[in-house]
């Protein structure tokens, strides 16, 4: 991109921070401004997730998710080593409890091998006990490279580097509208206008609104789903060495309740996945009338809902009853029976959905002449963040030089 000297990056989550850093590495001396309406970094999805560094088990071979997840792991490991950030390769078991789950588990194993995930293996009941003495199952896939991290800490380190390289980070600066011009863009914010050669929008749950306002495609649209986490009481802190997940059911769009260790040593159960009444409210009822109205007026959402009623019923039980939630987890770790847990702040997943009510499975990026919109970057978005940034900046350079 030989003539581009100024960029605005919308969003100070991990992907926005990674994009700004990559731009400065690609174009030293360029004018880079990161803007975010919040007053801290990683205020939304980045700061409300499980902290898992995914190895790349589930994703369709050849998809952006598969390629960028594996590259993202490599780049994350290099980054945390250079900045002395917490990172633990604690490993993960994906456990089959029922006979009908075993073939699905073998299919995941085949995908993992195709995606180049290192060290994966299939284990029987004794092998499960060797890895996780408190877990049970008929068969499990072991991914020793799956890790845990603090994505908030990574984001803060990236933004610090952006500033050291000469970039500007502006908090409390809400983007109201993006106007594409013949020779660049004008980003209208609550603090005034920002002209630039190009804008990269990494706005998470607001991505569809900003894209539509800038004249990009109306589809896909974001439908928010919340995930509730529980922190097990202190006596269960060491009940697992790593992570224990169920085998995903292809009839359901989400993974189901699992057990996740955090880098601070605490053990979490969750998340479930249920329709959120807002895009960015994490406590209480979490109701935002504009957000809910937009979801309910979306014909695609009703098509999705009609196909996924059994999922909604199953997940609703885990929302209403903490004990049911923990009982689901105890199927994999029986010694959790009777455990107590504290409800943590929920996370909200900005899931893109097309007009037919299908959840977009892969990352989605909308390229325009002077604007790039990230339209879908759910899990493993945080794991893949540095690779997504690399991919976007390389794509920009090749498009502008063509």
Q: Please write the tens of the pLDDT for every residue from 351-373.
A: 999 999 999 989 999 999 999 99
291 and 280 co-located in one domain: yes
Q: Is 266 exposed, middle or buried (0-12, 13-18, 19+ CB in 10 A)?
A: middle
CA distance 291 to 289: 6
251 and 344 co-located in one domain: yes
In tens, the pLDDT along 177-216 reads 999 999 999 999 999 999 999 999 999 999 999 999 999 9
Could you tell me if 17 and 176 are in contact, meaning their C-beta atoms sit under 8 angstroms apart? no
Sheet harboring 192-196: ordered strands across? 175-180, 185-189, 192-196
What residues contact 402, with CB distance under 8 A and at least 6 apart?
A: none
Nearest to 209 by CA among 51, 345, 11: 11
Q: Which domain holds residue 380?
A: 6-46+152-219+362-401
Q: What is the largest CA-CA distance in the chain?
A: 65
Map residue 402 onto helix, strand or coil.
Answer: coil
Tokens 């071979």, residue located: 61
Could you tell me if 77 and 88 are in contact, meaning their C-beta atoms sit under 8 angstroms apart? no
| Domain at 34, CATH number | 3.50.50.60
pLDDT of 7 > 90? The answer is yes
Could you tell me if 174 and 190 are in contact, meaning their C-beta atoms sit under 8 angstroms apart? yes
Tokens 């993202």, residue located: 72
Q: Could you tell me if residue 56 is left (phi over 0), alpha (psi between -120 and 50 degrees) or otherwise beta?
A: left
Min mean pLDDT across 151-160, 190-199, 295-304, 320-329 is at 320-329
Total number of domains constituting the chain: 2
104 and 129 co-located in one domain: yes
241 and 189 co-located in one domain: no
195 and 277 co-located in one domain: no
238 and 381 co-located in one domain: no
13 and 40 co-located in one domain: yes
118 and 226 co-located in one domain: yes
Q: What is the pTM of this model?
A: 0.94
Band (1; pLDDT cuts 50, 70, 90): very low
């Amino acid at each position: 991109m030989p003539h581009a000297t100024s960029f605005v990056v919308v969003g100070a989550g991990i992907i926005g921070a990674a994009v700004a850093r990559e731009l400065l590495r690609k174009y030293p001396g360029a004018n880079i401004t990161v803007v975010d309406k919040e007053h801290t970094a990683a205020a939304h999805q980045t700061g409300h997730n499980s902290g898992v560094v995914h190895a790349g088990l589930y994703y369709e071979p050849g998809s952006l998710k598969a390629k960028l997840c594996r590259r993202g792991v490599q780049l994350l490991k290099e980054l945390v080593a250079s900045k002395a950030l917490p990172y633990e390769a604690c490993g993960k078991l994906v456990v089959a409890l029922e006979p009908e789950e075993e073939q699905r588990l073998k299919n995941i194993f085949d995908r993992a091998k195709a995606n180049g995930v290192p060290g994966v293996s299939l284990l029987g009941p004794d092998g499960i006990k060797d890895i996780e003495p408190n877990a049970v199952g008929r068969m499990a896939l072991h991914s020793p490279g799956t890790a845990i991290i603090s994505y908030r800490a990574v984001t803060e380190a990236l933004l610090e580097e952006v500033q050291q390289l000469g970039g500007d980070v502006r908090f409390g600066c809400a983007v109201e509208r993006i106007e594409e011009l013949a020779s660049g863009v004008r980003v209208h914010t609550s603090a005034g206008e920002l002209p630039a050669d190009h804008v990269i929008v990494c706005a998470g749950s607001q991505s569809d609104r900003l894209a539509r306002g800038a004249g990009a495609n109306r589809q896909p649209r974001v439908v928010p789903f919340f995930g509730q986490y529980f922190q097990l009481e202190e006596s269960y802190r060491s009940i697992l060495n790593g992570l224990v997940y169920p085998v995903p059911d292809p009839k359901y769009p989400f993974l189901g309740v699992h057990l996740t260790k955090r880098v601070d040593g605490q053990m979490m159960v969750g998340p479930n996945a249920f329709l959120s009444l807002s895009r960015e409210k994490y406590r209480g009822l979490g109701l935002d009338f504009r957000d809910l109205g937009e979801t309910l007026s979306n014909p695609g959402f009703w098509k999705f809902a009609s196909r996924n009623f059994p999922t909604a019923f199953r997940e609703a039980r885990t929302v209403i009853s903490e004990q049911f939630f923990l009982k689901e987890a105890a199927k994999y770790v029986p010694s959790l029976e009777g455990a107590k847990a504290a409800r943590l702040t929920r996370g909200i997943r900005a899931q893109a959905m097309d007009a037919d009510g299908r959840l977009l499975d892969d990352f989605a990026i909308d390229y325009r002449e002077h604007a790039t919109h990230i339209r879908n970057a759910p899990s493993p978005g945080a794991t893949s963040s540095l690779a997504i940034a690399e991919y976007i900046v390389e794509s920009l350079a090749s498009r502008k030089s063509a």
